[in-house]
Amino acid sequence: MRTEKRFTPKLLDRFLREGRGTGTYESYIPHHRVSRSDPASMGRSHLMNWRGRQRELLSDGEWSGLTFASHLKNLLDLVEQFPLSIRPAKFELCRWDVRARETEYPGTEALAKKLGIRHPMVHDKDDHAIWIPTTDLLLVLLNGGGFLELLAVSWKPGSFSDLSKRAVDLLRLEKTYWEVRGVRWLLITSETYAKSVALTLLRTSSWGLADESPDSHIQLACTVARAMCDSSQTLVTSQLAHELGGDQYPAQKALWQAIWRGELPIDLHRGWRPHQPLSHISSAEFVSLNPIASGRTAWI
């Protein structure tokens, strides 16, 4: 049972002392954590190890967001529950790239005032403090010119029309925060992706997010799957396992990592059940299934 049930100024002070929201790559510490000492999230929380760090995801949506983001071949880092600066601060990319501009940009307090939005606060009797907004997922990408860039992603369950005016105002504040920094921001809702696609990824994530298979296994998976395009996934995996030495797990991992990497694009609406054949589609169709890869946003 959690020992702290709500956010208070004292709790935010503890987050600051613990270095919440600091670091990069394996050393990053999420601002909100799946911890017994933190207030419970509204969604179902998930813990998973990926790329050398335990990921702390506060909802099924954030888990889906990580699975979609992991498909990006130019993804260098992904941090969850990234805190926005209340006060003026340097560009966030400075953490990852010494070449990034060091110009100071306005924080959420000044932006909220400019937008006419009441900045969220936390209270505990006579004590109060400014709430620190967060972005669900912040991606660090390597662009075609060899430079790093950021992509901010927020995830909301349901549709955009279901959101309250207050929720929209806070999203507008978050969007403006990234906009003034020149960072693209995506709002992902149920309108921007198919639930069946997200479910397939969640159910195959134990293979897709596992330690990377050797490239030779990935290429073999592509060759076998294309040669057996009318066969069930069970037969494809069995043949692949036979060619890899008989073990099913490396075969399953290589097959689904080939799919996740887009080297073997299939229709993810089909589900994950092994008795079904893999339905091959074009690379463009495969990218269109992914709201992050295709840059879809529910913001209007």
Percent of the chain with pLDDT over 70: 95
Domains of the chain, with CATH numbers?
Answer: 9-188 (3.40.1350.10), 195-288 (1.10.10)
168 pLDDT higher than 50: yes
Separation between Cα atoms, residue 135 and residue 31, nearest integer Å: 10
Average of per-residue pLDDT across 131-147: 94
Q: What is the mean pLDDT of the chain?
A: 91
37 pLDDT higher than 90: no
Average of per-residue pLDDT across 169-188: 97
3 pLDDT higher than 50: no
pTM listed for this prediction: 0.91
4 pLDDT higher than 50: no
Tens of pLDDT, residue by residue over 82-138, are 999 999 999 999 999 998 888 999 999 999 999 999 999 988 777 788 989 999 999
227 pLDDT higher than 80: yes
Structure confidence at residue 152 (pLDDT): 98
Structure confidence at residue 36 (pLDDT): 64
Structure confidence at residue 300 (pLDDT): 72
- List CB contacts of 109: < 8 A, sequence separation 6 or more: 86, 87, 119, 130
Separation between Cα atoms, residue 125 and residue 168, nearest integer Å: 28
Average of per-residue pLDDT across 260-281: 89
More confident residue, 112 or 12: 112
64 pLDDT higher than 90: yes
Structure confidence at residue 12 (pLDDT): 81
